[in-house]
Amino acid sequence: MELQEKPNGLGFASEATLVEAFVQKLARGRSPWGKLELATEWDHKSGSVDVLGRTRQKSLIAFEAKLTEWKRAYMQAYRNAAYANKVLVLMPAATVHRALAEAAEFELRGIGLCSFDGREIRVLIEPKEQDELLRWVRERAHTHFNSLRHELASAATASRSKSPRCRKRVLQPAGL
């Protein structure tokens, strides 16, 4: 996705385009967290998270994205800390300074802060490992990622058995 400067000066037309570009960057496997399995707008019955990633070590990382409203993202990230191993607020590089001014608040709760300009992800405040408070939500997230893996493996097997000369390439989440 080519980033084009938007009239709002943020670099992204909407939160959705920020998330889309961020997910594309994460899917390439070149991020501060390495390769991640990814889910977007994952609904966990207590709410939803903009981006949920799972590392090779099975650690869950939740990202809440906002263009300008860092306090709302912070509160959503804090809620996600009940099940995710690490949580971060994601903001465009052009507005992240607003949240960075409240670094002590982020550090108090162990919530990370990162910026994205369409090309580079920068972690400005490192997230802390969170205690598991909602085990059932964490287990549900792992079940979700495991089912995606199973579906991809089944699709790959099916495409190979249909035509040995013409294999379809099945896109797998990063990290598999």
What is the rounded distance in angstroms from the CA atom of residue 122 to the CA atom of residue 11?
16
In tens, the pLDDT along 96-109 reads 999 999 999 999 99
- Does residue 41 contact residue 144 with C-beta atoms inside 8 Å? no
pLDDT averaged over every residue in the chain? 82
What pLDDT shows up at residue 1? 42
* pLDDT above 60 (res 146): yes
* pLDDT above 80 (res 148): no
What is the rounded distance in angstroms from the CA atom of residue 46 to the CA atom of residue 121?
28
Residue 31 CA from chain centroid, whole number: 11
* pLDDT above 50 (res 166): no
Domains belonging to the chain, first-starting first, are 15-162 (3.40.1350.10)
Q: How far is CA 147 from CA 84, 94, 152, in A?
A: 18, 37, 9
What pLDDT shows up at residue 138? 84
What is the rounded distance in angstroms from the CA atom of residue 147 to the CA atom of residue 145?
5
Indicate the pairing of strand 86-92 with strand 112-116: parallel
In tens, the pLDDT along 68-106 reads 999 999 999 999 999 999 999 999 999 999 999 999 999
Least confident of 37-51, 115-129, 147-161: 147-161
How many Cβ atoms from other residues are within 10 Å of residue 29's Cβ?
12
In tens, the pLDDT along 26-46 reads 999 889 999 999 999 888 777
* pLDDT above 50 (res 158): no
